Amino acid sequence: MHPVLDDLITLLGLERIEENIFRGESRDIGSPQVFGGQVLGQALSAAQRTVEGRVAHSLHAYFLRRGDMNAPIIYEVDRARDGGSFSNRRVVAIQHGRPILNMAASFQNPEGGLSHQTQMPDVPAPEGLKDLTHLAADKLDKIPVKLRRFMTDQRPFDFRPVEQSNFDEPKKRPPEKHVWIRAVDRIPDDNALHQNLLAYVSDFELLATSTLPHALPFTRGNVILASLDHALWFHREFRMDEWLLYSMESPNASGARGFTRGQFFRQDGTMVASTTQEGLVRVLDPSKTRKRSDPREQV
């Protein structure tokens, strides 16, 4: 397996400390703090380790504090309920004695029922599109070092955006975008693992969709984005080593918060998951900027 993808799968696997307590490490991918999708995927992994025979169908999480990449994260799972068809788990991610994420996840016995879905957007196929790292190659001298690493480091996934972005001189455009996503190598046949990986990638690009109508130049370093909450629903089975279209939109931004939602589709048009997220979006006056700890502490 590709070493970067293998490392991510190991990262999501977690170490069991006690019956309902797990420990995870972090990786610096170039984001200002521990990547939110990593904590989300690990929290779901911790919850899954306490459920047998049932499949996750939804999760709802709040990001409370930024994560420290140099310290382990402890995940405490509360087995809130095991009913006839559904199980519910509450997970708290803890660092330095304080919670950094709260999550509730629900699991269901697989069963049949009514089925319908929305239509997949009509966009170009991934085979004719460039990966995000190639699109950023000719802009590297204009991208801050931290963002440059985020854009160009080896990743466990290929990201092929349908709409190209101009990082230094953006233009106002509708608050919607589409990105094809696929793991860089084959992944074992483990449905729970594929769900963890989708939870991980669901935090990529989503909140930034709310900035598109405002043409914010991220290269200036005066835009603060921080996820506040995240919800995810799994509708049908999928594989992360096959192309998925991530269709994102932002129907509202107000009160220094952007509201976004997304849908995942298999290449054959089957809808497999939905997500929503609200996050902090602040544009600072460069002449008044100062070093901040966690932007969530300002809320």
Residues recognised as catalytic? 203, 227, 277
Q: Cα separation of 289 and 214, whole Å?
A: 20
Please spell the DSSP secondary structure of 160-211, one letter per residue.
Answer: EESS---SSS-----SEEEEEEEESS---S-HHHHHHHHHHHTTSSTGGGGG
Token pair in block for residue 147: 């963002």
Instruction: Write down the residue that tokens 């991610």 correspond to.
Output: 93
The DSSP 8-state label assigned to residue 144 in this structure reads: -
Which stretch of DSSP H or E encloses residue 100? strand 98-108
Q: Cα separation of 141 and 188, whole Å?
A: 39
Q: Cα separation of 61 and 103, whole Å?
A: 4
- Exposed, middle or buried by CB within 10 Å (0-12, 13-18, 19+), for 117? middle
